[in-house]
Structure 1
Amino acid sequence: MLGIKNDYLVIGDVNAPVKMEVFLNYACPYCATFYELVDHTLPKYFTEGKVALVVKHYDKPREMLLPGTLINANLDYTNPERTLEIISELFKNQATWDKYSSFEIKKYIEEKYDLKEEPANIDRSLLITAEAIERNVKMVPTVFINEHEYQYPREIFAEELVEVIENELKNAVI
């Protein structure tokens, strides 16, 4: 994706006029809420080739987010379609695993999804962390829509997200 770093996980057409990047953590409840909003609000934009969403797991150093870091270490980014399905399911079931111990999380991700630790994910994590620092990302989720930054964890509603996307589509050169 031109001009977008670390585009390992993309939902939608990489050539879409609206590019969204989200820095998130799989253990963050606000990220789960945002991802649910994406799942319910944006599929038509993905299907129509109007929006591309780049998902960037940020291994942000906060104790409550460590379960997300452990999950991230095991995801298979060489199979992005399956990984995106797993991420969606993990967010939906976050309350069942986010308080597990490190050992329990590793066991959960291995047994439920047949995943093991992926050594390449260390480098991927470091690249995304460096990008987050470079872009001054302080919290998750942080969303960039065509380079305009939106920081949550305030509640965002579907209507607001659609309005932002529609405005970007009006301004896009197609």
Structure 2
Amino acid sequence: MIQVENRQISFGKQDAPVKVEVFLNLACPYCASYFGIAEDVLPEYIANGQVEYIIKHYDKPREMLLIGTLVNTFLDYKNPERVREIMKELFETQNQWDVLNNHEIKNLLTEKYQLKEEPDNIEESLKITAEAIRRNVKMVPTVFINEKEFQYPREIGGAELRSEIEAALAY
């Protein structure tokens, strides 16, 4: 059984035979593309108990990603389904909110989504960062399918994601 750390945002059965883990950041346009692909491909596998999907928001210290780190401080990890829906909407509207300043983003998160800063997210962020360093995650998105790594700029498309899951299920 694959050992998975940092399951704060996890969907599907923990004993599912295939683990799809993604390190992403809400400010990354490539992560938005991957997230959309995953939302198309993974639900049937999750519903069938074949895949556990684990999302790890990586607060990577890179200027273009800092705004994603700000958003992450507001996500309520105690409610992963809502976090997933908010992430989906934020990725779909990324080109609208990523031009806002910090104050405007905080207002968006509190007014539109009724979110507040979550003090525990600092500790969770540090755990995910430590894991990313241990696993040599240098870029977002980085996807692991049962430990097989797909790290940007090597992007994974929908057909390949499905194929890799099918191969892992057949293994």
TM over 0.5: yes
Alpha-carbon displacement from aligned partner over 1:31-81 (angstroms, at most 9, x marks no partner) = 000000011111111111111110000000111111100100001111111
Decide whether the 8 Å contact of 1:30 with 1:153 is kept in 2. Answer: no
Equivalent-residue separation in structure 1 for 2:14 and 2:148 (angstroms) = 18
Query: What amino acid maps onto 2:14 in structure 1?
Result: V
Q: Percent identity?
A: 58
Counterpart secondary structure, 1:16: coil
Equivalent-residue separation in structure 1 for 2:94 and 2:106 (angstroms) = 15
CA offset at residue 155 of structure 1? 4.1
Equivalent-residue separation in structure 1 for 2:152 and 2:46 (angstroms) = 22
Equivalent-residue separation in structure 2 for 1:102 and 1:21 (angstroms) = 29
Alpha-carbon displacement from aligned partner over 1:93-141 (angstroms, at most 9, x marks no partner) = 1111112111111111111100011110000000100110111100000
Task: Give the number of equivalent residue pairs.
Answer: 171
Deviation beyond 3 Å, 4+ runs, structure 1: none
Equivalent-residue separation in structure 1 for 2:43 and 2:153 (angstroms) = 22
Decide whether the 8 Å contact of 2:75 with 2:83 is kept in 1. Answer: yes
Decide whether the 8 Å contact of 1:23 with 1:141 is kept in 2. Answer: yes
Q: Which structure 2 residues correspond to residues 103-118 of structure 1 after superposition, within 5 A? A: 103-118=103-118
Q: Which structure 2 residues correspond to residues 1-174 of structure 1 after superposition, within 5 A? A: 3-171=3-171
Counterpart secondary structure, 2:67: helix
52-61 or 154-163, which moves further after superposition?
A: 154-163
CA offset at residue 158 of structure 1? 1.2
Gapped regions of structure 1 (runs ≥ 5): none
Decide whether the 8 Å contact of 1:45 with 1:51 is kept in 2. Answer: yes
Equivalent-residue separation in structure 2 for 1:98 and 1:69 (angstroms) = 12
Decide whether the 8 Å contact of 2:67 with 2:102 is kept in 1. Answer: yes
Counterpart secondary structure, 2:49: coil
Counterpart secondary structure, 2:78: coil
Decide whether the 8 Å contact of 2:30 with 2:141 is kept in 1. Answer: yes
Equivalent-residue separation in structure 1 for 2:132 and 2:145 (angstroms) = 15
Query: What amino acid maps onto 1:4 in structure 2?
Result: V
Query: What amino acid maps onto 2:120 in structure 1?
Result: A
